[in-house]
A and B are shown apart, each in its own frame.
Chain A
């Protein structure tokens, strides 16, 4: 299992809003692919999948605010 963590996006920015998930639970994803789009100020930021595997858990739904460093998803590594 690999946790997907919201990375630091900018100095002084401690949270971002989930715009949408590029993948659904149960779908396979390749390492580095855009997994979830986050919104902050005038920017959208796509969080890349940290590992290849199956997306098994999403911790934050679309429109929800997430803190930098929070777990946002879990990928089951094959």
Chain B
């Protein structure tokens, strides 16, 4: 088994395709063919509902969402509704939590710390209010977390609002929170975020927090798009 954790920068992806890819990597880690993986992506516009999802937290009709080019999907992570779209960095750590204390809440807190440290590098002070999951600045919520675990292998992950168009969040009660203000790094710092740099910061702090080495795969017989298409077509 390779000792390294694979890191992949998928670019702009369809949510369903990347979900299939996550499950593929969960399978590799479960069968001990891989230590772990970290996927970076930005999604095409989509509202996803977690297991606590309440449809009344979507404030527009499905038809309206469709007319705006927004997909809708119920998914198997924790939490309520959220938005993913271009300009938002989504990170999926596929990690074996048996190697990281087997504690879901500790894992959530470690992810929050990774986000807070990464934002600090950009000069953005942020925090996690007691009793909440996610990361806030004084202007509003800037990052969301929703995870799933199977045989102690994590999937799903977290999203950081970098350059995302915040008007999409007006169409939902994000995470089911009615008066929640949502912000982005771009809005907070007043300039566009360098996504490459943000990924570097996050990858660095993840390595530090989880004691892993992230590296691109040495070779691949199929592209990631081919793998996820193959999985989706076999359903």
Whether a CB of chain B sits under 8 angstroms from the CB of A69 is: no
Whether a CB of chain B sits under 8 angstroms from the CB of A67 is: no
- A residues near B148, Cβ cutoff 8 Å: 43-46
Whether a CB of chain A sits under 8 angstroms from the CB of B76 is: yes
- Which single member of A8, A44, A48 contacts B51 (CB below 8 Å)? A44
Pair A39/B51 contact, Cβ less than 8 Å: yes
For window 22-78 of A, CB contacts with B under 8 Å fall at 32, 34, 37, 39-46, 48
Pair B105/A13 contact, Cβ less than 8 Å: yes
Chain B interface residue bracket vs A: 20 to 34
Q: List residues of A whose CB falls within 8 A of some B CB.
A: 8-13, 19, 32, 34, 37, 39-46, 48
Pair A11/B76 contact, Cβ less than 8 Å: no
Pair B51/A10 contact, Cβ less than 8 Å: no
- B residues near A11, Cβ cutoff 8 Å: 103, 105-106
Report if A9-B150 is in contact (Cβ < 8 Å); known contacts: A44-B76, A44-B77.
Answer: no
For window 49-79 of B, CB contacts with A under 8 Å fall at 50-52, 76-79
14 additional A-B pairs beyond A8-B102, A43-B147, A48-B151, beta carbons within 8 Å, are A11-B105, A19-B51, A37-B76, A39-B51, A39-B52, A42-B78, A42-B108, A42-B133, A42-B147, A43-B78, A43-B149, A44-B147, A45-B149, A46-B151
Whether a CB of chain A sits under 8 angstroms from the CB of B104 is: yes
Report if A43-B104 is in contact (Cβ < 8 Å); known contacts: A19-B51, A37-B76.
Answer: yes
- A residues near B78, Cβ cutoff 8 Å: 39-44
Q: How far is the CB of A58 from chain B (nearest CB, A)?
A: 19
- B residues near A10, Cβ cutoff 8 Å: 103-106
* A-B CB contact pairs (8 Å), 29 listed: A10-B103, A10-B106, A13-B105, A19-B51, A37-B51, A37-B76, A39-B51, A40-B78, A40-B104, A41-B78, A41-B108, A42-B50, A42-B77, A42-B108, A42-B133, A42-B134, A42-B145, A42-B147, A43-B104, A43-B107, A43-B108, A43-B147, A43-B148, A43-B149, A44-B51, A44-B78, A45-B149, A46-B151, A48-B150
Q: Which residue of B lies closest to A34 (CB)?
A: B150
Most A CB within 10 A of own CB, among B52, B104, B151: B104
Q: How far is the CB of B105 from chain A (nearest CB, A)?
A: 4
For window 79-114 of B, CB contacts with A under 8 Å fall at 79, 102-108
